[in-house]
Amino acid sequence: MPRTPSGLSRRSMLLGSATAALALTVPATSAVARARAARTPKVLVIGLDGALLNRIKDADAPRLKALMAAGLTAPSAIYANPMAPTMSGPGWSTLITGVWPDKHNVKDNNFTGHKFAQYPDFLTRIETAKPSLSTYAVSSWAPITDIVFSAKVDTRVSTPSAEYDTGTTARAVERLKGANPDAVFVQLDNVDHAGHTYGAASQEYLDAIHGVDGQVGAMVDAVTSRSTYGNEDWLILVTADHGHTDVGGHGGSTWPERQTFMIATGGTAAPGSTRHDVKMPDIAATALAHLGIALDPAWGLDGRPVQQPLPDDFDALRDRLGGPVDETGIGSGVIGFTHTPPSGWSVDNSRMGTGGVTEWRGWSFTTDEFWTKAERDQQRECNVRARGVFAVADGDEWSDKTVTGTFDSTLTSPAFPVTGGRPATLTYTTFYRQEAPQKGEVLVSYDGAAPVPVRTYTADVPSRTETVPLTVPAGATSAKAHFRYTGANNWFWTIDGVKISRS
Q: Is the pLDDT of residue 25 over 70?
A: no
Q: What is the mean pLDDT of residues 437-450?
A: 97
Determine the Cα–Cα distance for residues 374 and 383; give it in Å rounded to an integer. Answer: 14
Q: Is the pLDDT of residue 26 over 70?
A: no
Q: In the chain, where are the structural domains located? A: 42-293, 314-502
DSSP secondary structure code for residue 414 in this structure: P
CA-closest candidate to residue 194, choices 144, 157, 246, 239 = 246
Determine the Cα–Cα distance for residues 223 and 45; give it in Å rounded to an integer. Answer: 12
Q: Is the pLDDT of residue 139 over 50?
A: yes
Angle between helices 203-224 and 164-178 (to 10 degrees): 20
Q: Give percent of the chain above pLDDT 70.
A: 93
Determine the Cα–Cα distance for residues 358 and 338; give it in Å rounded to an integer. Answer: 10
Determine the Cα–Cα distance for residues 145 and 285; give it in Å rounded to an integer. Answer: 19
Residue 428's SS3 state is strand
CATH of 314-502, one of 3.60.15.10, 2.60.120.260, 2.60.40.1180, 3.20.20.330: 2.60.120.260
DSSP 252-317: S-STTTTEEEEEEEETTPPTTEE-S---TTHHHHHHHHHTT----GGG------TTS----TGGGG
Determine the Cα–Cα distance for residues 339 and 361; give it in Å rounded to an integer. Answer: 8
Q: What is the mean pLDDT of residues 282-288?
A: 98
Which parts of 92-154 are beta strand (E)?
135-139
Residue 98's SS3 state is coil
According to DSSP, the β-strands at 354-355 and 403-404 are antiparallel
CB atoms within 10 A of CB 410: 22
Residues belonging to the chain: 503
Residue 62's SS3 state is helix
Determine the Cα–Cα distance for residues 246 and 390; give it in Å rounded to an integer. Answer: 29
What confidence tier does 24 reach under pLDDT thresholds 50, 70, 90?
very low
Determine the Cα–Cα distance for residues 210 and 190; give it in Å rounded to an integer. Answer: 11
Cis peptide before 336 (omega within 30 of 0): yes
Determine the Cα–Cα distance for residues 198 and 249; give it in Å rounded to an integer. Answer: 9
Q: What is the mean pLDDT of residues 206-232?
A: 97
This prediction's pTM? 0.91
**pLDDT tens digits, 291-306:** 999 999 999 999 999 9
Query: By the 8 A CB rule, do 490 and 408 touch?
Result: no
Q: Distance between the two ends of the chain, CA-based, in angstroms?
A: 47
DSSP secondary structure code for residue 73 in this structure: E
Give Rg (Cα) of the chain: 24
User: Mean pLDDT across the chain, nearest whole number?
Assistant: 93
**pLDDT tens digits, 467-478:** 999 999 999 999
CB atoms within 10 A of CB 475: 10
CA-closest candidate to residue 262, choices 314, 318, 312, 303 = 303
Same fold, 42-293 and 314-502: no
Tell me whether residue 307 is exposed, middle or buried, using C-beta atoms within 10 angstroms of its C-beta: 0 to 12, 13 to 18, 19 or more: middle
Determine the Cα–Cα distance for residues 383 and 464; give it in Å rounded to an integer. Answer: 9
Q: Is the pLDDT of residue 464 over 80?
A: yes
Q: Which residues of 38-61 are buried (b: 16+ CB within 10 A; e: fewer)?
A: eeebbbbbbbbbbbbbebbeebeb
Q: What is the mean pLDDT of residues 87-95?
A: 98
**pLDDT tens digits, 350-400:** 999 999 999 999 999 999 999 999 999 999 999 999 999 999 999 999 999
Query: By the 8 A CB rule, do 163 and 202 touch?
Result: no
- What pLDDT shows up at residue 27? 41
Query: By the 8 A CB rule, do 287 and 130 touch?
Result: no
**pLDDT tens digits, 147-171:** 999 999 999 999 999 999 999 999 9
- 42-293 folds as Alkaline Phosphatase, subunit A (3.40.720)
- What pLDDT shows up at residue 333? 86
Phi/psi of residue 338, nearest 5 degrees? -150, 150
